Copies of this chain bind each other. A is one copy, B any other.
């Protein structure tokens, strides 16, 4: 079904149909006729052809590395709310590693996507040239929680240093000495958190034990829960008795909770638990945690993208949001 067919059916030229479609000046009579025909023929414009001549495609996409993660989803959802309001087509792509991220990016720019938000980009410093290649194709991109590097993109992150420091000071301040630290195996933000954990423990005068740092190989979905569960059980079975456990995300908190329950330890009476991200899981379970302020981050990302898409100033901007502690009932004084 093309514009030509409906032009023929109406006995007018394709230009008139196009004008009608684009709300240009058309005589009332013609308008009525076209309206009827389009309805009857069930015509849907081929936007692909529209956009080959009229560049913006009215589409924004968020690329993320995981779908089964509340923290990611809360981000995607906030963005969705905004673009739904604006009536622009918004889609989510999920790239689980560097190579699919690259493929997605190529697909998106070749599709003429108007703007791209990459949440937790998989690429790091060694792949900067790829980002540069993309930037040469003039697609506005904003990086959310990217590795820290000064390059030609708009970026927004929460300052995880501050968040983690606040968390450590909170725990240490309550008298905790042996703080188990549960992290994912690979990832810049895990490294950063571990570093601060190590640092602050040291500063408090005790030497961080190697075994107190538990690395979970898969951490986003129920297998992450299971892996954490196992790691925590093993950790206790080796004789470790921390007064508090800190988990780098809520999925790990879930696995930890499960393990604790199995070990007959209740939170916070027998042991404290602190988490990170403040997803619905922390809310629901009453876990004290670091709030990633996902909604603020999402709003900021949208602002940056607006700026990149519509502003006339092309210098990249960088936003850093300060995370805050959410105090609930899962952390109490060390016994």
8 Å CB contact of A91 from B48, B61, B100: B61
Set of chain B residues within 8 Å of A96, measured between Cβ atoms: 84
Set of chain B residues within 8 Å of A90, measured between Cβ atoms: 93-94
* A19 is an interface residue with CB less than 8 A from chain B: no
Chain B min CB distance to A231 (Å) = 14
Set of chain B residues within 8 Å of A42, measured between Cβ atoms: 133, 136-137
Whether A73 pairs with B84 at a CB distance below 8 angstroms is: no
A167 to B234, CA, bound (A): 35
State the oligomeric state as a number of copies: 2
Chain B min CB distance to A80 (Å) = 5
Whether A47 pairs with B107 at a CB distance below 8 angstroms is: yes
* A76 is an interface residue with CB less than 8 A from chain B: yes
* A46 is an interface residue with CB less than 8 A from chain B: yes
Whether A94 pairs with B77 at a CB distance below 8 angstroms is: yes
Identify the stretch in A189-197, A202-210, A280-288, A309-317 within 8 Å (CB) of chain B at 4 or more residues.
A280-288
Given contacts A44-B106, A91-B93, 13 further A-B contacts (CB under 8 A): A1-B137, A46-B52, A47-B111, A48-B110, A49-B52, A61-B91, A67-B76, A67-B92, A68-B74, A89-B107, A222-B279, A251-B280, A254-B284
